[in-house]
Amino acid sequence: MVVEDEERVASFLEKGLRAHGYAVEWAQTGEDALRRLMHAGISLVILDLGLPGLDGLDVLAGLRERGSAVPVLVLSARGRVDDRVKGLNRGADDYLGKPFAFEELLARVRANLRPRATISPSVVRIGGIGIDLLRREVTVGGRTVSLSAREFSLLKVFADHPGKVLSRQQLLSMAWGMDFDPQTNLVDVYVGYLRRKLGEPVIETVRGAGYCMSA
């Protein structure tokens, strides 16, 4: 979505972005943009700050206060350092001053639309259980519990799928990389080990389906 009150600038942006394969919506006022952004499936906002009525910074603050995480690229004639800092502090993901080169704008659009890497926590907590994935340490109620390598592998599978029922075949495959063997009771044995060390209610038996770790 392009949020820009000057029709000439908005038309230039819309034509240029469409020529590179992007679908574009145009909002001319801050009020209209904020209303539509809370409902429409917009992937990126190019936001001017000098809007009539609701200022661009207020649109930005309104988006973030409502929990929207849509990437926002501010495109504004307010190009001083303090203006850029203010925009970024209000929740902008990027800031480009006017006048601008369309090639740079396009590069910034592409960069802000790239999938963003997520950082997985190193410690997972489920109830009173803490699982340190890097140190391979487990605590129950703050007390360190010693687990074998196989016990830890099985616990990690449960922790990766909290609240999900996992069959014995799935557990064998994910924890040990083994094909299903109907004669083996390996999963049942190690679930028993974990229950004794972590507490009986942590891993539930789902009759006829498998096991589930309480979310």
Q: pTM of whole model > 0.85?
A: no
DSSP conformation class of 215: -
Q: Is the pLDDT of residue 117 over 70?
A: no
Q: What CATH topology corresponds to 2-113?
A: Rossmann fold (3.40.50)
Where do the domains of the chain lie?
A: 2-113, 123-213
Percent residues over pLDDT 70 in the chain: 93
* Entry field: residues in the chain: 215
Query: Band of the pLDDT at 120, cuts 50, 70, 90?
Result: low
User: 25-34, 53-62, 128-137: which has the minimum mean pLDDT?
Assistant: 128-137
The predicted model gives 48-74 an average pLDDT of: 87
Give the tens place of pLDDT for each residue, 76-115.
888 778 888 888 887 888 999 888 899 999 999 999 888 7
- Comparing C-alpha atoms, which of 105, 103, 102 is closest to residue 94? 105
More confident residue, 203 or 119: 203
Q: What CATH topology corresponds to 123-213?
A: Arc Repressor Mutant, subunit A (1.10.10)
